[in-house]
Amino acid sequence: MVAAPLTTAAAVAAPVHPWVGALLAGLPDPAGLRPESVLAAQAALAAAGLPSRRQEDWRFTDTTPITAVDPRLLEPGAPAPLPPVAEGHQRVVLDGRAESLEGIAWPEGIEPLGDEEAQAVLGRCLGTAAAKESDWPVLVNSAMSPAVLGLRVRGAVAPVLELVSDAGEAQGVLPLRVVLLLEPEARLELLQVHLSGGANLTSVVVGAELTSGAELRHGVVATGAAGSVLLARLAIRQAPGSRWSLATVSRGWGLVRLEPRVVQSEGEAETRLRSLQLVDGQQIADTHSRVRFDGPGGQLEQLHKVVADGQGRSVFNGAVVVPRAAQRTDASQLSRSLLLSDRARVDTKPELEIVADDVRCAHGATVSRLQEDELFYLRSRGIGAAEAARLLLRGYCQEILGELPAAAAIWQAPSFSAGPETP
Amino acid sequence: MIRPDAPVLLEIRDLHASVADQPILHGVNLTLRAGEIHAVMGRNGSGKSTLSKVLAGHPAYTVTGGSVRYRGEDLLALDPEQRARIGLFLGFQYPVEIPGVSNLEFLRVATNARRQEGGEEELDTFAFEDLVNEKLQVVQMDPAFLERSVNEGFSGGEKKRNEILQMALLEPVVAILDETDSGLDIDALRIVSGGVNHLAGPDNATLLITHYQRLLDAITPDYVHVMAHGRILRTGGKELALELEQRGYDWVDAEPAVLEAV
C-alpha cells in the first residue's frame, strides 16, 4: 500500500478512483477526538480506490451499484413515517448527525460511553485488520468520520434497543457508527433496522465488546430498494463466558454486504450466527463472515440461508479460524440456498483455517429448489401451486425470522418493506 | 356396504402409467361405488403405490393410457389441487415433513380450499380452531401437534393420525389410504382404523392399499383386489385377504395373467 502523507486526501499523488475522489473532496475537515486517524483513513481510502473483483474478498461481488450512488454525504431529509414503537422496545433513530444522539433518555442499565473509551473499544473490536484494503466497508466509514453512538451496558436491560436508520429516497452516503461495551454479565437485546428506498449508500460499522458472561442478542433487519446499497461491518469481541447471538435478514438492496466478524479473544465463548438473504431482480447480497477463536473451548453455530430469484446473486463466504491455541473448539457452519429461478446465481464457500488438532468443525452447503415432494403434499390437500410455494418459502425463512424479536415483524410488513414510496 | 344401484364415484379403465419412462401400471380396472370399502393388496413393486399417486396427480408419474372418471368427470385432466378440492384424498404412506409451516395453518388453508370449492364460507382462525378441536377427537390427537410444523418430528403413528385428521377435516368423497397401517403399533392402528371407520359412510368410498391382513381385521372391506405386475389379477370378498395371509403371494406368479405379462 502507498504510504500516504497525513494531509488532506486531495494531496494524494496517485490517481484516485473518481468516485472515491469525489466523496473525499466533499467531506468536511475532520474534527473531534482524533483527526489524524480520520485523515489516515481518508488517505488509505484514496489509495485503495473501490473494491475490485480482482480481490479475493470481492471476487463474486459486483460493486458497480456503489458508483451509481452520488458520492457525497447524504443530507437527512424529513423523517419518513416509521411504524409505531412496539411495547418493550426503545427506539433510537440514527440519521448520521451527532445532535440526534443527544438528550436521549436511556433505559436503566444503558449510559453513553465517552468518546475516548468508545474509540478504544472500537479499536479492540476492529483489530489491526481494519487498515487493509479488504476492509473497504470499514475504511469508507472511517473516512467519513461519522458521529458515534457509544453505549455502556450494565446488568440486564429490559427493553429491546432498536436502532433504526432510513436513508429514504435521498441521494448520497449515510455513514453510521455504533459502539457497545457490555460489562460483565450484562444482557442486551438489540435490533438494528436499516431501510432505504432509493439510490443511496448506508455505511454501518458496529463494534461491540462482550466482557465475561455478557450476552448480546442481536437482530438486523435490512430492507432496501433497487439502487440502494448497504455495507455493514459488525465487529464483535467476545471474552470467555460471553454469548453473541446474531440473526440478520436482508432483502431488496441493489447491493448489500454484511460482514459479521467475531473474535473470541480467549475462547470459551458462544457465537450463534443466523442469516437470511433474499435476492430478486438484479440484486446482489453478500455475506462475508469471519469467526476467530484465540483460545480453547469456543463454540460456533452458524446457519446461512438464501432465497435467490430473478437474476439475483447471492454470495456467502464463511471463514472460521482455529489457531493452535483454540483446542476443543466446537464449530458448525451450514449454508442453505434455495434457487427459485434459472437465472439466479449462488456462490457459497466455507473457508476453514484449522491448525488446532482437537477440534470439531463441521460445515456443509446445499443448493436446491423447492422440494417437489413438499409441494405435491400441499397440492394434494387442495392448496394451489402458487400458494403452496409461498407457504414453503415462508416456512423456509421462518427458521431465521423466528430468531428476531417478535416485534421485528413490523419491519417485514409490506407497507414498510418497500421503503418510503409507500405512504 | 355393497349397493349395486349406488352411484359410481371412481371408475378406472385400462390405466397405464410410468415413472421415469419405466412402465409400472399395465392396465388397471377398478370401480368404486358410494358406500364401498376396497382393499388393494400386493407385494412391494406390484404398482399399488403408483396407482395411488397417479390418482392423486403426482407430477413424477405419467399416464400413458386409459382413463379415470371421478363422478363422471375426467380426473386425469385436473391438477392435483383441483382433485383434492372436489373430494379426492390421498393418505400418504410417508407423510412429508414441512419445516417452518405450522400444522394448524396448513390444515386451515387446506380446509378452506375444499370448502370454497363446495361453495361454503371460508373459516376464520377462530371458527377453524373450533372445528379442528372437534375433529382431533376422531384420532385422539394431542392439540399440541397443531402448533408444530407439519409432520416435523412426529413419530410414525403421529404422522398417520395427522393424515386421518386431514381426512376428517376435508371430508373426501373418495379416500385412498396408501399403507396407512405401516409403521403403526397396535394402539395407533386401532385409533387410525377407528378414524377411518368413523369417516366411511354411504356417500363416500375408501380405497385401502395395504400389505397386511391386520388392517383388514380392523376395517372390513367389501372388496379385496390382488395386484401384481401393474394389474389387478383377482377380486374377491374379504375372504381373499385371509387366503393371501395363509398362502402368501407366491401363487400369484402362477396366475395366467401374470404368465402372460412376464
User: From the CA of B82, how many Å to the nearest CA of chain A?
Assistant: 6
Residue percentage of chain A with pLDDT more than 70: 92
Interface check B60 vs A, CB under 8 A:
yes
Least CB–CB distance from A382: residue in B95, B110, B150: B110
Order across the sheet with B22-33: list the strands. B22-33, B8-19, B61-70, B73-74
The predicted pLDDT at position A415 comes to 32
- pTM beyond 0.90, yes or no: no
pLDDT digits (tens, 9 = 90+) for A224-267: 999 999 999 999 999 999 999 999 999 999 999 999 999 999 99
The predicted pLDDT at position A131 comes to 55
Name the closest residue on chain B to residue A390, using Cα atoms.
B101
User: Under an 8 A CB cutoff, do A379 and B79 touch?
Assistant: yes
User: Under an 8 A CB cutoff, do A395 and B98 touch?
Assistant: yes
In one-letter notation, the amino acid at residue A364 is G
Helix axes A18-25, A136-144, angle to 10 degrees: 30
Give the bridge partners for B67, in sequence order: B13
**Model confidence at B260: pLDDT above 70:** no
The predicted pLDDT at position A29 comes to 84
Q: Is residue A6 included in any domain, yes or no?
A: no
Per-residue pLDDT, averaged over A360-380, amounts to: 94
Q: Is residue A3 included in any domain, yes or no?
A: no
A125/A161 same-domain check: yes
Q: Is residue A265 included in any domain, yes or no?
A: yes
Interface check B258 vs A, CB under 8 A:
no
Of A103-112, A360-369, A407-416, B194-203, the one with minimum mean pLDDT is: A407-416
Q: Tell me, rounded to whole angstroms, the distance of Cα B107 from its chain centroid.
A: 18
User: Under an 8 A CB cutoff, do B84 and A385 touch?
Assistant: no
Enumerate the residues of chain B whose CB falls inside 8 A of the CB of residue A388.
81
The predicted pLDDT at position A30 comes to 78
Least CB–CB distance from A395: residue in B100, B113, B166: B100
Per-residue pLDDT, averaged over A66-90, amounts to: 89
A390/A354 same-domain check: no
Separation CA B192–CA B138 (nearest Å): 9
Q: Is residue A384 included in any domain, yes or no?
A: yes
**Model confidence at A24: pLDDT above 90:** yes
Q: Are A267 and A239 in contact (CB under 8 A)?
A: no
Enumerate the residues of chain A whose CB falls inside 8 A of the CB of residue B109.
383, 387, 391
| Chain B interface disruption, residue of A307, A366, A377, A403, most B CBs within 10 A | A377
Q: Is B67 helix (H, G, I), strand (E, B) or coil?
A: strand
Distances in whole angstroms, Cα of residue A11 to Cα of each of A1, A14, A37, A40, B167: 16, 9, 16, 12, 77
Q: A401 in the Ramachandran plot: left (φ > 0), alpha (ψ -120 to 50) or beta? A: alpha
User: Under an 8 A CB cutoff, do A373 and B96 touch?
Assistant: yes
Q: Is residue A305 included in any domain, yes or no?
A: yes
Q: Is residue A114 included in any domain, yes or no?
A: yes
Per-residue pLDDT, averaged over A11-30, amounts to: 85
Q: A378 in the Ramachandran plot: left (φ > 0), alpha (ψ -120 to 50) or beta? A: alpha
The predicted pLDDT at position A5 comes to 47
In one-letter notation, the amino acid at residue A55 is Q
User: From the CA of A403, how many Å to the nearest CA of chain B?
Assistant: 12
Q: Is residue A80 included in any domain, yes or no?
A: no
Residue B175 grid coordinates: 379416500
User: Under an 8 A CB cutoff, do B60 and A396 touch?
Assistant: no
A323/A400 same-domain check: no
Interface check A132 vs B, CB under 8 A:
no
Interface check B122 vs A, CB under 8 A:
no
* A153-186 per-residue burial string, b: 16 or more CB within 10 A, e: under 16: bbeebebbbbbbbbbbbbbbbbbbbbbbbbbeeb
**Model confidence at A10: pLDDT above 70:** no
User: From the CA of B257, how many Å to the nearest CA of chain A?
Assistant: 33
Enumerate the residues of chain B whose CB falls inside 8 A of the CB of residue A380.
56-58, 80-81, 83-84, 90, 92
The predicted pLDDT at position A221 comes to 96
A398/A363 same-domain check: no
Separation CA B128–CA B169 (nearest Å): 10
A151/A247 same-domain check: yes
The predicted pLDDT at position A194 comes to 97
**Model confidence at A3: pLDDT above 60:** no
**Model confidence at B253: pLDDT above 80:** no
A242/A101 same-domain check: yes
Band of residue A2 on the pLDDT scale cut at 50, 70, 90: very low
Q: B123 in the Ramachandran plot: left (φ > 0), alpha (ψ -120 to 50) or beta? A: beta
E strands, A94-239, where?
110-112, 148-153, 160-166, 172-182, 187-195, 200-210, 215-223, 229-238
The predicted pLDDT at position A199 comes to 94
**Model confidence at A384: pLDDT above 90:** yes
**Model confidence at B259: pLDDT above 70:** no
Average pLDDT, chain B: 92
Residue percentage of chain B with pLDDT more than 70: 97
A129/A182 same-domain check: yes
Interface check B56 vs A, CB under 8 A:
yes
A356/A398 same-domain check: no
Least CB–CB distance from A377: residue in B60, B92, B149: B92
Tell me B143's DSSP state: T
**Model confidence at A417: pLDDT above 80:** no
Band of residue B248 on the pLDDT scale cut at 50, 70, 90: confident
Enumerate the residues of chain A whose CB falls inside 8 A of the CB of residue B123.
none
**B8-95+174-261 CATH:** 3.40.50.300
A386/A364 same-domain check: no
The predicted pLDDT at position B55 comes to 98
Enumerate the residues of chain B whose CB falls inside 8 A of the CB of residue A376.
58-59, 80, 96
When divided into structural domains, chain A yields a total of: 2
User: From the CA of A4, how many Å to the nearest CA of chain B?
Assistant: 53
Q: Are A347 and A314 in contact (CB under 8 A)?
A: yes
In this structure, what are the phi and psi dihedrals at residue A256, rounded to the nearest 5 degrees? -130, 135
Enumerate the residues of chain A whose CB falls inside 8 A of the CB of residue B173.
none
Task: For chain B, give every domain's residue range.
Answer: 8-95+174-261
A232/A381 same-domain check: no
Tell me B211's DSSP state: S
Of A65-69, A273-277, A300-304, A412-416, the one with minimum mean pLDDT is: A412-416
Name the closest residue on chain A to residue B54, using Cα atoms.
A380
pLDDT digits (tens, 9 = 90+) for A142-166: 999 899 999 999 999 999 999 999 9
User: Under an 8 A CB cutoff, do A395 and B59 touch?
Assistant: no
The predicted pLDDT at position B2 comes to 87
User: Under an 8 A CB cutoff, do A384 and B58 touch?
Assistant: no
Residue B188 grid coordinates: 395407533
Average pLDDT, chain A: 90
Q: Are B174 and B208 in contact (CB under 8 A)?
A: no
A137/A278 same-domain check: yes
User: From the CA of A400, how many Å to the nearest CA of chain B?
Assistant: 10
- Taking Cα atoms as reference points, which of A376, A405, A401, A406 lies closest to residue A388? A376
Q: Are B245 and B216 in contact (CB under 8 A)?
A: no
Range of the structural domain that residue A395 is part of: 371-404
